[in-house]
A = this chain, B = another copy of it.
Amino acid sequence: MLAVTILGNNSAVPAFDRHPTSQVVTTDGTSFLVDCGEGTQIQMIHYKIRRSKISHIFISHLHGDHYFGLIGLINSFGLLNRLQDLHIFAPSPLQHLIELQLKVADTVLPFNLHFHTIRNEGVLLDEEKYSVTCFHTNHRIECYGFAFIEKKKPRRLLPEKAREFEIPSHFYDRLTHGEDYIKKDGSVVKNEWVTLEAAKGKVYAFCADTKYDESIIPHIDGADMIYHETTYLNNLAERAAARFHSTSGQAALIAQKANVKKLLIGHFSSKYESLDEFEKEAKAVFENTELALEGVTYRV
């Protein structure tokens, strides 16, 4: 099951008990942290996220509201005697910054910290059950979105059917991987007669900070769920563009054009106390929109 839990849904300055960007993506027992604004570790405690479960951290860009909480989290991992490796994917020079902060504190971590500097679009992780890719977004500084892609599972075997066609059980594994079975007399048992289509792997894309830019669409096309920032409402579209941010209506338009199934919106400006208008504005364009609310888990 692919799911995302929101830890912070506000833009830069914390306000109205909303926190800077951070979310936890989970798939099949693995937890990824996406962005890590100040106070993320405190939000994790608050929402009972098991910090030790986090194996990979993805940082979209080096504006503070997306990474100022990272050094504190790393530091706490050290003090809590974490032993398992931690992988961080981020643009340069995050590695230098973190290493400098550890050095001035004379801190030696008890676990291995692996930095993977993102320099371009592409595949960041390719594991048996999932992959993670990144793509450029259009922001004031170098910035990346991330797509979490569950791999297609094996086809589902229909054991009665397989027995009916007298297929030996040692071939069952090959059936779930799509092979036909050829009997000794040369006749063929078509794979689809004895298996069912596997459930399609789900896709979740975090679109980071970005101004309205359709060039991200190929990277999120047909995704089951995307998170798109919406710092302002449409009436401040000019300000949004000037600051390389999006409006709620623009986020919805991207969702619509990319044929995604569901849209989460967040990164709300601190000038808005109520979020009702964000939801209303987006839903008018793309009905299956939800506000990304802190502490809530959205199943993809």
Contacts and interface: CB of A to CB of B under 8 A. Distances in A.
Interface of A: 12-15, 19, 38-39, 41-42, 45, 62-65, 68-69, 71-72, 75-76, 79-80, 93, 97, 100-101, 104-106, 140-141
B97 A100 contact: yes
Contacts of A64: 71-72, 75, 101, 105
A14 B41 contact: yes
30 contacts: A12-B75, A13-B79, A13-B80, A14-B41, A14-B42, A14-B45, A19-B42, A38-B38, A38-B39, A38-B41, A38-B42, A39-B42, A62-B104, A62-B105, A63-B105, A64-B71, A64-B72, A64-B75, A64-B101, A64-B105, A68-B68, A68-B71, A68-B72, A93-B100, A97-B100, A97-B104, A100-B100, A104-B141, A105-B141, A106-B140
A230 to B, nearest CB: 18
A79 B14 CA distance: 11
A76 B39 contact: no
A138 to B, nearest CB: 15
The 4 nearest A-B residue pairs measured at CB: A38-B72, A39-B39, A64-B75, A62-B104
Contacts of A19: 42
A75 B65 CA distance: 9
